[in-house]
Amino acid sequence: MMDPRAWKRFRANKGATVGAVLVLFVTLVAILGPFLAPHDPTEQFRDTLINDDGTLARPFELAGHLLGSDSTGRDELSRLLHGGAISMLVAYFATALTILIGVVVGVTSGYFGGIVDTLWMRFVDLLLSLPFLLLAIAFKSVISEATLFHLILLLAALSWTRLARVTRAKVMQVRQLEYIQAARALGMTHTRILMKHVLPNVTGPIIVLGTTLVARMIIFESALSFLGLGVDPPQASWGSMLHEGQQLMVDSPHLMLLPATMIVVTVFGFNLLGEGLRDAFDPKD
């Protein structure tokens, strides 16, 4: 389905290749991490990891605890690996849900136009006019027992509008092309035209935006965790670890630097990949 010329352009782009490698790396960490982790991420090793004077074990100090201790004597490496799995799981699923909602809204809105379009777009305007943080806090207060599923739902609810708008714009552009008119003149049903002629021709921008969305989701999740709205302790995600590490920043900077590095690498990788895909799909821009 991918245009062979686009693939060639993608291969020739060094940044995109670096991005793809980084993305592959963090995705593998997320999938394999829990199995590779040497300890249970919630098990406390107060005797070995917290010194008598109350300071924490630093990275590379102790064999068996490669990255030292977290703030309460848990194995930092294990938490980082488990946290990565959760962060990436949340990011990937939230992105998939965002794309699903965004594409359905964008395609119907752009293709049918008229009243369908007006209703969807006013709804989008409404959502966009509400402050993100307020929504998140309201959401948390309504659902007391928040699970990962709720977090994914919240992230998708906050992000699909942008994707819907981009998809709509692209669909409106494709809709007036003559091959869509020709399809109508051949007597095709709307479903068929949408699935076979419109969708395949708007996938480019959706894939590109979707890639950068994964990066945004990781940042979003970190931000929510940072505010205590993300995953519930004792579970770890990179975002919540960043939040915890921030309190002990002066004495044990590694608690903040390690998850921060992972987030930066992931976001950087996805952004590079997204840009590479954009150049490959749409060399004119």
Binding residues for another protein (CB under 8 A): 1, 3, 5, 177-179, 181-188, 192, 196-197, 200-201
Do residues 186 and 197 lie in contact, with contact meaning Cβ atoms separated by under 8 Å?
A: no
**What pairs with residue 44 in β-bridges?**
74
Residue 188 or 260: the one with the smaller Cβ distance to another protein is 188
Residues with Cβ < 8 Å from 194, sequence gap 6 or more? 107, 111
Residue 63 or 115: the one with the smaller Cβ distance to another protein is 115
In Å, how far from its chain's centre is CA 68?
28
Q: Closest separation between CB of residue 188 and another protein, Å?
A: 6
Give the angle 62-225-55 at the CA atoms, nearest 5°. Answer: 30
Residue 46 or 196: the one with the smaller Cβ distance to another protein is 196
For residue 75, the SS3 value is strand
Residue 142 or 185: the one with the smaller Cβ distance to another protein is 185
Q: Closest separation between CB of residue 175 and another protein, Å?
A: 12
Q: Closest separation between CB of residue 178 and another protein, Å?
A: 4
Q: Closest separation between CB of residue 183 and another protein, Å?
A: 8
Q: Closest separation between CB of residue 115 and another protein, Å?
A: 12
Q: What does the block give as tokens for 225?
A: 């965790």
**The residue to which tokens 């999740």 are assigned:** 221
**The residue to which tokens 């993305």 are assigned:** 23
